Amino acid sequence: MDVLFLAMGAMLGWGWVILSGEWVATAGFLGATIAFAGGGLLIILIGLTYAELATAIPETGGGVAFVQRAYNTPLAFLAGWSVLFGYMSVIAFEAVALPTVIDYISPLKHQVHLWNIAGSDVYLTWALIGSVGALFLGALNYRGIRSATIFQTVFTIAIVSVGILLIFGAGYYGDSENLKPYFSGGFDGMMQVLIMVPFMFVGFDVIPQIASEVKATKSIGKMLVISILSALLFYVLIIYGVSIGLPHSELLTSKLATADAMTNLFNSKVLGQVLVIGGIAGIITSWNAFVIGGSRIMYAMALRGMLPAWFAKLHPKYHTPANAIIFLTALAFLAPLLGRQALNWLVNAGSIGVVLGYLIVTLAFLQLRKIEPDLERPYAVKWPKTIGWLAVLFSIGFLSLYLPGMPAELSFPIEWSLVFGWYFIGAYFLFMHKSKSPVKTFELNNASLETK
């Protein structure tokens, strides 16, 4: 159950609170639902491949280990670096989202104006809210995965509870006329929602990152698939709740449509704020999960000589990848300085890394089925070739949506600059550290990652 809540909390996060109104306003009720169903199908197919690989190769780092075993180190680096891009985007996203939601509950008069980025004023006191949150999550993970997973379970229950409350209000008090127009923005509108979907589901793959720590078994594979299906159902029901809870005209002007829908359905400002508090729980669970997953990717890559050995340093007492956690905490600490506009930039740019990483892992799944047919697979996927090639084709199709000229292309210069900048840094590590020999854990600390 800890594993299920870890993945669910990672996927749900805060995005459904802050972005659901935009989904419905952009594509309409049915348009947004179809976009999520289509994107969810891709994630389910990829999730099945991860479920098999996580139980067959339960090594820290997940996709990095899978791809290296199937192919080679450079391709494993690309897979790990791409997924890490998505993880870091989420971590930075949540650090920016935290002060945004605090302002919704209790608007503060912020002090010390720093600068304006893309029309968004950044104040020191506003940024510090996210930065303090970063320090708290960093400290929690520094002390070990056990305390982090207990924390994750409690807060995930809070998210699901407020989501169920909204869905109940939609079914009991909702006005079906608000569901119109069913489609908005045509095909382009659906595509604009579709490109956000991979970002909203990133998180199930945190499970393979910690497979060695939770002693992966067949049940881990099942929990991974169940978590994806549960998240898809949750998102679709939230889209329904927001659509039926607010007229289309109000969706276009609402700052937090999910909270406003809750307020409108129950005619209670308090319940709207309760939903936002649940959203804060989502920020924490998503943030927490990606610090766990991201630090394990960096640790695994450092052990294999793909990143500096500094990232493979284990804490002598807590047996956590302490330096990797410190690095991710520093990233989150600085992220709020980018301002509110960073939310959309991070969603869009990070998604392309996630899909690319998933594509490479899916190819590794097919390759391992070919070269290691006798590998013990506690969770074996039925029809592996069909599942694998469908996942490959869907992933390639998704990647094409981000390219120039497509309805959902990434914007110039900011979003593409984030993408090119990330892979430029990756190229430096790959070529500057390719001569490094893999690091053995006992050479660093005579310890290993464990559940503590």
What average pLDDT does this structure show over 31-36?
92
Over residues 114-130, mean pLDDT: 80
For residues 84 and 296, is the Cβ–Cβ distance under 8 A? no
Average pLDDT over residues 212-216: 58
Which of 5-19, 33-47, 428-442 is predicted least confidently? 428-442
Give the residue from 88, 100, 161 showing the smallest Cα distance to 129.
100
Determine the average pLDDT of the residues in 99-107.
75
What is the pLDDT averaged over residues 100-121? 76
* 92/344 Cα distance (integer angstroms): 11
Exposed e or buried b for every residue in 423-441, given b needs 16+ CB within 10 A? beebeebbeebeeeeebee
Q: Of the segments 25-34, 154-163, 223-232, which one has the largest average pLDDT value?
A: 25-34
Q: What percent of the chain has pLDDT over 70?
A: 88
In this prediction, residues 43-64 reach a mean pLDDT of 83
The pLDDT, as a whole number, for residue 392 is 92
Cis (ω within 30 of 0) for the bond into 438? no
Supply the mean pLDDT for the chain: 81
- Give the pLDDT band (50/70/90) at residue 98: confident
Give the position of tokens 């120039």.
Answer: 404
- pTM of the full structure: 0.80
Domain-wise residue ranges, the chain: 1-450
Q: What is the dihedral of CA 3, 4, 6, 8, to 10 degrees?
A: 160
What pLDDT is stored for residue 450 in this prediction?
46
User: Could you tell me the CATH superfamily of domain 1-450?
Assistant: Amino acid/polyamine transporter I (1.20.1740.10)
Q: Which helix (H) or strand (E) holds 57?
A: none
Angle at 448 between CA 442 and CA 452, to 5 degrees: 150
pLDDT of residue 225: 80
| CB neighbour class for 350 (10 Å; exposed up to 12, middle 13-18, buried from 19) | buried
- Spatial neighbors of 432 by CB under 8 A, at least 6 apart, are none
**Where is average pLDDT lowest: 228-237, 317-326, 343-352?**
343-352
Contact present, 199 and 46 (Cβ < 8 Å): no
pLDDT at 444: 40
Q: What is the mean pLDDT of residues 250-275?
A: 84
Per-residue model confidence as pLDDT tens digits over 281-294: 777 777 777 888 88
Q: Is 144 left (phi over 0), alpha (psi -120 to 50) or beta?
A: left
**Which distant-in-sequence residues (6+ apart) come within 8 Å of 425 by Cβ?**
none
Mind listing the pLDDT tens digit for each residue in 329-376? 888 888 888 777 666 777 778 778 888 988 999 999 999 999 988 888
- Measured CA to CA, the distance from residue 140 to residue 312 in angstroms comes to 19
Q: What is the mean pLDDT of residues 372-381?
A: 86
pLDDT value at residue 390? 92
pLDDT of residue 146: 63
